[in-house]
Structure 1
Amino acid sequence: MDFIIFVISMGALILGAEFIIKESERIAFHYNISEFIIGATLIALGTSLPEMAASVAASIKGQSDMAVANVLGSNIMNISLVLGLVFLIASRITPGRDLFFKDSAWLLFPVIIFPLMIIDGSLSRLDGFLLFAMMGAYLLFLMQSSREEQLAEVDEELKKEPFNWQKTLALLGIGFILVVVGADYAIDSAANIARTFGISEWIIGLLLIAFGTSLPELVVSIKAARQGKADMSIGNIIGSNMANTSVVLGSAAMTRPLTIDLASSSFDIFLMIGVTLMLVFITANKLYAKASGVMLLIVLAIFLQHALIH
């Protein structure tokens, strides 16, 4: 029963996030906000909304392991699974934007600083605020860069639809309810599953919740790759991982300080750093090829093997 509740609640969480993203875009178009700003902020942050809801809910319930493992697992899966598949599916990837200098290099800041913050085994509210502020610096950088360069795919169909405040507010309200309630039930059911099978909450967060909250990135990126817009997929993943490590972890820590068992989490932390460095290396050398996809999927296999064994 708990597994059914988990699946339904994750579905509600993802559907709610989709409503919020679409209606936020609709409002932005209504007020003539530029597509660049929409792509750089709403969509990049919006696809991380499920991770944020799940991690904050876990933090409120005092389940630090799930809150942190969700972010680590999601970041690893976003790069190894999502981008690995994108590189394999896309026939040709020729980004018009320098994804290394203008995007992926920014991922190094929170990914390197996070391990330094948790040397004492905890992530304090101040640590959370500093991580949160990093996303603000990144968004400021994006807004100051060329308006012609877009990081995320903007839904062109929304521009053609008539704007209706009543409908938009209703869907936004439904979206927020689905996200909040879905996250709450997802964390409770996941904790019950962990207790029933004697699995640690860390593994549940690292695999089940992380995979569920990575589904929006997976769907958006695969769709973009099939449409020949794989560069948007890469930009989306970079923005999403930046948001995960800064906004999601930061929000969870500011809600309630997180305790981290360094002995059990060290492999996953190092793997997150390693796969991020792989992404930075790929973008720096423009290795947008199927071989890169294979290498990333090998990392995914290592990640899954270690998680399932432990």
Structure 2
Amino acid sequence: MDYLIFVISLSALIWGADVLIAQSERIALRFNISEYVIGATLIALGTSLPEMAASIAASLDHKPELAVSNVIGSNILNITLVLASVFLLAKKVDPHRDFFAKDSSWALFPVLLFVVMAMEGEFTRFDGVLLLLLMGAYLLFLKNNGSEVLTLEDEEIEEIEHAPFRWPKVLLMLALGFVLVIVGAEFTVESASSIAKSLGVSEWIIGIVLVSMGTSMPELIVSIVAAVKGKADMAIGNIIGSNMANITMVLGSAALVNDLKVDLHHYLFDIATMVAATLMLVFITANRMYSKPAGISLLALLALFLHHIAGQLG
């Protein structure tokens, strides 16, 4: 039964992602907003809702390890699995935006701030407020630095322009897309967790592997669909924006509910992997290495991470 639920949930994710991309393009064309900004805000925040729901629920249940590990695992997977899949599956990844000059600091700074806060042994409500303020600063930055011209193929423009723009229909379709993506992810998590619990693994392992894999599926599907359609800026924007939202909004909101204790030394490898993945992202953008070899390198880091997790299970 769990396998059937998984297949249906994955189908809902794929359809929901396609709806999100189509409606986001309509909004971008209507207001001349760049694909990157749409990906880093509307889509990124929407696809981060599963992480937020999971971490806040874990915080309410006084399960800080599950709340924190979900964020760490999601950020690792967004780069090593999602970005790698974009590079490997897309025919060509040639973004118009200079991610290194404009966005690398926003990818790295929240991760470094996470490490500094984790060194204190817990994420307090004060930390949560600081993280949410950082997200506000990021959104303000995008407002002032997201002026790239939207690029669509001629046939896409013609198709969109021939369909009249009506806010009620667009908002309804966006809501439908988000619901399909989020509900699909939720049932994917539940079906995976039911199998995991029978294995008797720890909350940290469940959070950093199973829950984070389930909640990262929206980013995975949305980014792959966007990349296959030639929307590289939207795909990469979704990844950077989602990682930013995971640390600032997801962890920040969970910390506002309850203080989240974390053992930095006990989970040093996992946190170091998140830092390493982010540094690889910065290196790739600095050298514009949007290629299959870069994707393979990211998958190698993922394999190392999963090997470490397997060793803990063993």
User: Aligning the two structures, in what range does the TM-score lie when normalised by the shorter sequence?
Assistant: 0.7 to 0.9
Structure 1 gaps of 5+ residues are none
Distance of 2:211 and 2:259 partners within structure 1: 20
Distance of 2:309 and 2:179 partners within structure 1: 32
- 3-state SS of 1:304 partner: helix
* TM-score between the two structures when normalised by the length of structure 1: 0.80
Distance of 2:176 and 2:120 partners within structure 1: 40
Matches within 5 A, 1:54-69: 54-69=54-69
Percent identity over the alignment is 56
For each residue in 1:259-286, what CA deviation from the matched residue of structure 2 results, as whole angstroms up to 9, or x when unmatched? 1132432111110000100000110111
- 3-state SS of 1:197 partner: coil
Q: Contact 2:59–2:260 at 8 Å: present in 1 too?
A: yes
Q: Contact 1:40–1:139 at 8 Å: present in 2 too?
A: no
1:92 and 2:92 matched: yes
Distance of 2:183 and 2:145 partners within structure 1: 37
Structure 1 residues 185-194 or 292-301, which shifts more? 185-194
For each residue in 1:223-265, what CA deviation from the matched residue of structure 2 results, as whole angstroms up to 9, or x when unmatched? 2222233343222211111111111111111122111132432
Distance of 1:172 and 1:96 partners within structure 2: 25
The aligned counterpart of 1:137 is 137
1:304 and 2:295 matched: no
Report how many residues are paired.
306
In the TM superposition, residue 24 of structure 1 has moved relative to its aligned partner by: 8.9
1:74–1:261 CA distance, 2 compared to 1 (3 A): same
1:48 and 2:21 matched: no
1:88–1:13 CA distance, 2 compared to 1 (3 A): closer
- 3-state SS of 1:264 partner: coil
The aligned counterpart of 2:112 is 112
In the TM superposition, residue 34 of structure 1 has moved relative to its aligned partner by: 5.0
In the TM superposition, residue 193 of structure 1 has moved relative to its aligned partner by: 5.6
The aligned counterpart of 1:35 is 33
For each residue in 1:85-117, what CA deviation from the matched residue of structure 2 results, as whole angstroms up to 9, or x when unmatched? 222223333221111111122111110011111
Matches within 5 A, 1:1-310: 34-36=32-34, 38-149=38-149, 195-310=197-312
Structure 1 residues 243-252 or 89-98, which shifts more? 89-98
Distance of 1:222 and 1:186 partners within structure 2: 18
Structure 2 gaps of 5+ residues are none
In the TM superposition, residue 187 of structure 1 has moved relative to its aligned partner by: 7.8
AA aligned to 1:112 is L
In the TM superposition, residue 50 of structure 1 has moved relative to its aligned partner by: 1.4
1:102–1:167 CA distance, 2 compared to 1 (3 A): closer
* TM-score between the two structures when normalised by the length of structure 2: 0.79
AA aligned to 1:291 is P
In the TM superposition, residue 58 of structure 1 has moved relative to its aligned partner by: 1.4
In the TM superposition, residue 149 of structure 1 has moved relative to its aligned partner by: 4.7
For each residue in 1:133-187, what CA deviation from the matched residue of structure 2 results, as whole angstroms up to 9, or x when unmatched? 1111111111111423569xxx977876667787778778888988998898888
AA aligned to 1:127 is D
Q: Contact 1:53–1:179 at 8 Å: present in 2 too?
A: no
